[in-house]
Amino acid sequence: MESIPKLNNLTTEERNEASLNIDTLSTTEIVALITREDQQVIDAVQREVPRIAAAADLLVAVFKKGGKIFYMGAGTSGRLGVLDAAELLPTFGVGEDRVKALIAGGQRAMFVPVEKAEDDSRAGLTDFLAQNPTAADALVGITASGRTPYVLAPMQRAKEMGLATIGITCNGDSEIAKIADVTIAPVVGPEVVAGSTRMKAGTAQKIVLNTLSTTLMIKLGKVYQNLMVDMIPTNAKLVQRAERIVQEVTGAPAELVCEVLEKAGFNIKAAIVMLKAGCDLQSAQDLLAQAEGVVGRALQLVSDGGRG
């Protein structure tokens, strides 16, 4: 068994004074207590806004240099990383070739607990190095305790290799904070059921990941106004959403929107520029290339007479 830092003094492992007698409460009282405790999560995350912003700027720089982003975690933390990374493709058109999540125990651990996997620092290092990371990349370590060996070992190696490193934890003064360039630590307090970090800690990590990745995508121009213009319409619902997005932005009639979207291969950005600029697909693609994929900037080029 590897030497693992003790759980002593971890906020996430303490007993919650408010729930000491939760096993004697009525169903309604239990639910009310849990939801009351959950209200602390938003405040804890809000206190981390400067660190989340700093981490987002770090990831934007990595992405613009062509680097990849890796998430690593175990248990609930690992599953949240997998969930966040998987949802980037349909939402923003970013696949695992740019953002990839690794979970202790592998894909099976998404559905079946592989609890000992989080203690295996060698497996963490092996999984990380198998991705052929370079100094241009970033590693985001997700660990509620801030001391999971599966995460800490690759974080340390990533630091030595020159990668950007970001830690997400729910404990202050954590082991991961000693390694990461930026540490995001929403301290949500003891769980209603002591040590059950799938609860408040899990909720906090989910909010942080949502905020971090969405901010990154917005800064990369994958959102125009507040619309998902790099969304991939892979089913009937998303096709309708794509049509509605283009119609809302351009004001064009539905029939024309459908026609232009088809010509653009359902590239929402290109369809918007085609309709707003009155140009063909190639010209729209050229404008977007000049604008680094940012719709607002491409349309400004048209206004400035930069088309052609």
**What pLDDT digit, counting tens, does each position of 80-131 carry?**
999 999 999 999 999 999 999 999 999 999 999 887 888 899 999 999 999 9
118 catalytically annotated: yes
How far, in Å, CA of 85 to CA of 256, rounded?
A: 34
CA dist 252 and 35 (Å) reads 45
What is the spatial distance between Cα 159 and Cα 172, in angstroms, rounded to a whole number?
20
Q: Is this prediction's pTM over 0.85?
A: yes
The structure tokens listed for 21 are 């007698």
Q: Give the residue among 147, 114, 121, 142 at the shortest CA–CA distance from 8.
A: 147
pLDDT band at residue 307 using 50, 70 and 90 as cut-offs: very low
pLDDT greater than 80 at residue 293:
yes
Asked which of 130-134, 152-156, 232-236 is least confident by mean pLDDT, the reply is 232-236
- Provide the pLDDT confidence category of residue 267 given band limits of 50, 70 and 90: very high
Domains and CATH numbers, the chain: 11-219 (3.40.50.10490), 223-303 (1.10.8.1080)
SS3 6: coil
Task: Check 2, 14, 29, 87 and give the catalytic one.
Answer: 87
User: Taking all residues of the chain, what is their mean pLDDT, rounded to a whole number?
Assistant: 93
**What digits encode the pLDDT tens for the residues 184-200?**
999 999 999 998 999 99
- Phi-psi category of 101—alpha, beta or left, where left has phi over 0 and alpha has psi -120 to 50? beta
Q: Which of 14, 29, 37, 118 is catalytic?
A: 118
Strands 182-184 and 69-73: unpaired
Active site (annotated) includes residue 87: yes
Residues in CB range of 177: below 8 A, 6 or more apart? 146, 167, 169, 183, 185
Q: Distance from CA of residue 205 to its chain's centroid? A: 10
Which helix or strand (DSSP H or E) is residue 221 part of?
none
